[in-house]
Chain A
Amino acid sequence: MPKQVKSLVAICQETLSMNLDGLASIGDVPYSLIKSALQRATAQQLHLIELHNPHLVPQSHELWLAHVLQYSDLRQALSEGQYKDPSCWRDLYLTRYQEMEERKRMISEKVKNQYNKIRNEKAARSIKVINGHHLPPSKRISRGTQLHDASPQTSRLFMATKKAASKSYAIYNSRVTKRQPVTPARAHLHRPSPVPFVKPPSKLEKQYQANYRRFGHTPTIPNTLPLIPPSPAAASNCTSTSEHTQFQRQPPSRLPPSPKSSSKKPAAIVNYNIFQQLT
């Protein structure tokens, strides 16, 4: 079936309904011509056009019916026979519309308030990142432990770990005979060095070395220990006779000094006050 070419009137009406937003004053156009275009107008557009063209108002009551029918309760009322007068439809719709807008606004306000309240609560409870420079200085444990701001508990643990590590490392440092005890106070002095170095021999060690050279062997303790005090001759060899000599137990000596061999040179000369001299 061939399509009908639309009449110019119809084309104009369609174009008009598409561009109602730009319509202000309609001029001399009779209501009948634009009625079909206005039927497709939204409530907003219709209201504005009526504002610009008051002469349309008496005729445009019927146009508001479609908008009033959007509200179901009004639809109900209409079907029951209320609001029969077409002229009241406009006001009916407008007042209803205002009510809805007000209600919407109040609800959105309430929701916004609640949201803000919750958001503030959350913000107060949240963890904030602050610039590290402004932190108060932490308590210092010792001069030597300034590597980090650790609690005393952690620092002790750290020290203990260090101690254990240095102990295990000391296996490879066989030259050192006597080790100073590692306490937290002396932690800064005792650091396991990456390169093993030989400490200069201590006084005690020097004496040992001297004795070794002299006698050719390390001191030995014989099985039987004669319980005779050393003879005065041997005692005179001592460099000092102090009251602090607590080492009254018989020092190791090859031969007990006897009157018979007093003229002979003693086989071993032992400095009984060695410990005294060294401290």
Chain B
Amino acid sequence: MAEPALANEEETKTEYVKLISSDGFEFTIHREAAMRSGTIKNMLSGPVQFRESLENVIPFHDIKAVILEIVCRYLYYKWQYEGSVTEIPEFKIDPEMVLETLMTADFLDC
């Protein structure tokens, strides 16, 4: 994901979070989107002793980049359509990834 132009460095720190996959890819997403995952939410806004809550960076040593990308896509999908009164389109997943995505989704509680 390309990093957008940032007006205020202070605000961007809290507006975006960075998720890092096991193979080194970095995914910078809106904090709001990341909050849709229960696990990430706990990591970011839980007890302060989590390093992640200070730096807004979460490394995932078990999650591959392809799967993390699907998760990020889903988090935005959820953020966009939650509370919507219009018809919500189907979120499609590639059957090849479905087993790993299932495990990851279960882990991330989303």
Contact = CB atoms under 8 A, between A and B. Distances in A.
In this complex, which of B77, B92, B95 has the most chain A Cβ atoms within 10 angstroms of its Cβ?
B95
A29 B99 contact: yes
B48 interface: no
10 contacts: A3-B84, A3-B87, A4-B82, A7-B105, A12-B101, A15-B93, A15-B95, A16-B95, A22-B95, A33-B103
Contacts, number: 58
Contacts of B85: 2
Interface string B24-49: 00000000000000000000000000
Nearest to B99: A29
B93 A12 contact: yes
B98 A33 contact: no
Nearest to B104: A8
A12 B94 CA distance: 10
Given A5-B78, A8-B74, A13 B91 contact: no
In this complex, which of B74, B77, B102 has the most chain A Cβ atoms within 10 angstroms of its Cβ?
B102
Contact of A9 (B77, B99, B106): B106
Given A8-B91, A11-B91, 20 more contacts: A3-B87, A3-B88, A4-B82, A5-B84, A5-B88, A8-B101, A8-B105, A8-B108, A9-B106, A11-B74, A12-B102, A12-B105, A15-B98, A16-B102, A19-B98, A26-B99, A28-B103, A29-B102, A29-B103, A33-B103
B110 interface: yes
A33 B105 CA distance: 11
A131 B54 CA distance: 99
Question: For chain B, what secondary structure do more than half of its interface residues adopt (helix, strand, loop), or is it mixed?
Answer: helix
A58 interface: no
B81 interface: yes
B38 to A, nearest CB: 10
Nearest to B74: A8
Contacts of B82: 4-5
Interface size class of A (residues with CB under 8 A): 20 to 34
A176 to B, nearest CB: 103
B105 A9 contact: yes
